[in-house]
């Protein structure tokens, strides 16, 4: 009995952390922002930027914008929103002046807490699945 309960808790935990998914759970998909495995940090040498916007065109995440102010050379320069950056490096590859450096980091894993109510609900789901399989 204890082993079955432990198995139920393990399966529920794996479902909760999306390590495994049952077909029934796929119907509850929502339009949440897509999770990124990699996160990027873009550093731009703004004094060397000419504001040509090639990098901006290459960025699929819309993470780059043109500044309102001017740099020492009199150009508007690029500013990065690192919250949107995936570290794909497209911007750095297209920049003719090589003023962009991209650093990649892994996205932080969210800590998942399971309340006693959710645990009970999970056990009920697993029990009904096991009953259907019999
Ligand atoms: S690394 Fe990729 S996602 Fe990040 S700013 Fe550059 S082009 Fe955009
Ligand atoms: S491609 Fe390079 S020079 Fe052109 S706007 Fe982007 S950072 Fe500036």
Q: Where are the domains of the chain?
A: 2-25+109-133, 38-106
Cα of 56 to ligand 2 centre, how many Å? Answer: 8
Q: 42: Cβ below 6 Å to ligand 2? A: no
Span 10-35, mean pLDDT?
51
Q: Give Cα 24 distance to the centre of its chain.
A: 24
β-pair partners for 109: none
Are the CB atoms for 133 and 22 separated by under 8 Å? no
Return the pLDDT at 23: 45
CATH of domain 38-106: 3.30.70.20
Task: Please give the number of the atom of ligand 2 that sits closest to the Cα of 95.
Answer: 1
Return the pLDDT at 114: 67
Cα of 61 to ligand 1 centre, how many Å? Answer: 7
Return the pLDDT at 11: 58
What's the pTM? 0.59
Q: 47: Cβ below 6 Å to ligand 2? A: no
Cα of 80 to ligand 2 centre, how many Å? Answer: 11
Look at residues 52, 43, 81, 41 and name the one whose alpha carbon lies nearest to residue 65.
81
pLDDT bracket for residue 132 (50, 70, 90): confident
Structure tokens of 125? 């789901």
């Amino acid at each position: 009995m204890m082993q079955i309960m432990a198995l139920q808790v393990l399966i529920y935990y794996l479902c909760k952390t999306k390590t495994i998914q049952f077909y029934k759970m796929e119907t509850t998909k929502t339009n949440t922002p897509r999770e990124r495995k990699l996160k990027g940090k873009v550093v731009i040498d703004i004094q060397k930027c000419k504001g040509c916007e090639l990098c901006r065109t290459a960025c699929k995440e819309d993470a780059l914008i043109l500044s309102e102010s001017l740099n020492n050379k009199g150009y508007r320069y690029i500013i990065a929103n690192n919250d949107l950056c995936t570290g794909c490096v497209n911007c750095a590859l297209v920049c003719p002046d090589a003023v962009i450096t991209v650093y990649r980091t892994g996205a932080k894993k969210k800590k998942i807490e399971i309340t006693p109510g959710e645990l009970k609900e999970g056990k009920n789901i697993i029990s009904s699945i096991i009953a259907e399989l019999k």
